[in-house]
Structure 1
Amino acid sequence: MTVRKIVTYPAEILEKQCKPVTQFDKKLVKILNDMYDTMLEFDGVGLAAPQIGLDMQAAIVDIDDENGTIEMINPEIVETNGEQLGPEGCLSFPDLYGEVERPYYVKIKAQDRKGKFFTFEAKDFLARAILHEIDHLHGVLFTSKVKRYLEAEELEGLEEE
């Protein structure tokens, strides 16, 4: 496994619509494994392929709950419901945080590392993380959705809650 370099803004790939994955092979498995190691190394809860410089619709999310690591290849949003406002950050924007409004619930359809289709439902923080990563695959950055940027002191207060 390899820790990859995180691509930071203003790299062009971060604002690009990524290509669908068509090859489900050992190369894809290695990329997904590297993405997981990279996400852990940089203390993230999700990572999308363009964040390591790859033009492909692949993303992972792991918020350290009972769901474990969710790998999403060619994900599509099937349904959303409700709304939530909360803090977000992004490994491609070091030390930048803002309040972002997102749906409270999401249902997605995606493929796993073998190409098998699955559906997945998530609420609250997990839904937020999934939607953030899917946005990356379409060149949408969280900064375009920020209602208000947060100062470091405000973040410290949130972590203590």
Structure 2
Amino acid sequence: MSEAQLPVPEPGSVRPVVAAPDSVLSRAGDPVDPLDPEIVALAADLVATMRVAPGCVGLAAPQVGVSAQVFVVDVTGHPRARTCHGTVALCNAEVVEASRWQKGREGCMSVPDLTGDVKRAGHLVVRGTPPGTGEPITLTTDAFEARAFQHEIDHCAGLLFLDRVPGPHAIFARKVYL
């Protein structure tokens, strides 16, 4: 399947987002069957939930209380995005290649009051399977989209961005802009 033919899940339902320290956020998600109708529906719900949250560019299953390796990313229109694959939903994703490491500020819907400086790969190759298909795909991305993919893959592995900051000096109160 080429990158231009990525399937986008049908519209789903908005689910409540769980916040740290909920234990589902610190457990590695279970691998899933991308053809399972419940997983396809979960991906659609992740997209719907991401869309209603201002500024949200990604969401993983553990963030809605489901311990599963499914996430969605969409950096469309974000000022820091250089590469954009549109709405991407992946199951059982893994990083194949990572390089050009750089520090950047991150926030998270599951850690609503904090942001932090996290070192992430600025060039990334990811492999995973879109829900509803049996065909794994490989995506190459960079900059902000690469950061978003890594953030969501971390969620599927039971990690928060706070687990990646170098120390308390790199954690900040989230600023609210009116």
State whether TM-score is above 0.5: yes
Find the counterpart in structure 1 of residue 7 from structure 2: none
For residue 72 of structure 2, what is the amino acid of its counterpart?
Answer: I
Query: Which aligned pairs between 1:7-156 and structure 2 lie closer than 5 A?
Result: 7-22=18-33, 24-43=35-54, 44-65=56-77, 66-113=84-131, 114-147=133-166, 148-152=170-174
Work out the number of aligned pairs and report it: 155
Q: What is the TM-score when the length of structure 2 is the normalising length?
A: 0.82
The SS at the match of 2:75 is: coil
Cα distance in structure 1, aligned partners of 2:125 and 2:24: 26
> Is the 2:90–2:129 Cα contact (8 Å) retained in structure 1?
yes
- 5+ long unaligned stretches in structure 1: 157-161
- 5+ long unaligned stretches in structure 2: 1-11, 78-83
> Is the 2:113–2:173 Cα contact (8 Å) retained in structure 1?
no
For residue 29 of structure 1, what is the amino acid of its counterpart?
Answer: V
Task: List structure 1 segments (4+ residues) > 3 angstroms apart after TM superposition.
Answer: none
The SS at the match of 1:126 is: helix
Cα distance in structure 1, aligned partners of 2:36 and 2:163: 34
Task: Indicate the RMSD between aligned Cα atoms, in angstroms.
Answer: 1.6
More helix by share: 1
Find the counterpart in structure 2 of residue 159 from structure 1: none
Q: In the TM superposition, what whole-angstrom CA distance separates every residue of 1:48-93 from its partner, at most 9, and x where no partner exists?
A: 0000011111011001154111111000111101111111000100
Distance 1:61 1:81, change over 3 A: same
Cα distance in structure 2, aligned partners of 1:74 and 1:30: 16
**Structure 1 position 109, deviation (Å):** 0.8
> Is the 2:126–2:140 Cα contact (8 Å) retained in structure 1?
yes
The SS at the match of 2:71 is: strand
Percent of residue pairs identical: 36
Cα distance in structure 1, aligned partners of 2:25 and 2:174: 25
Q: What is the TM-score when the length of structure 1 is the normalising length?
A: 0.90
Cα distance in structure 2, aligned partners of 1:117 and 1:152: 36
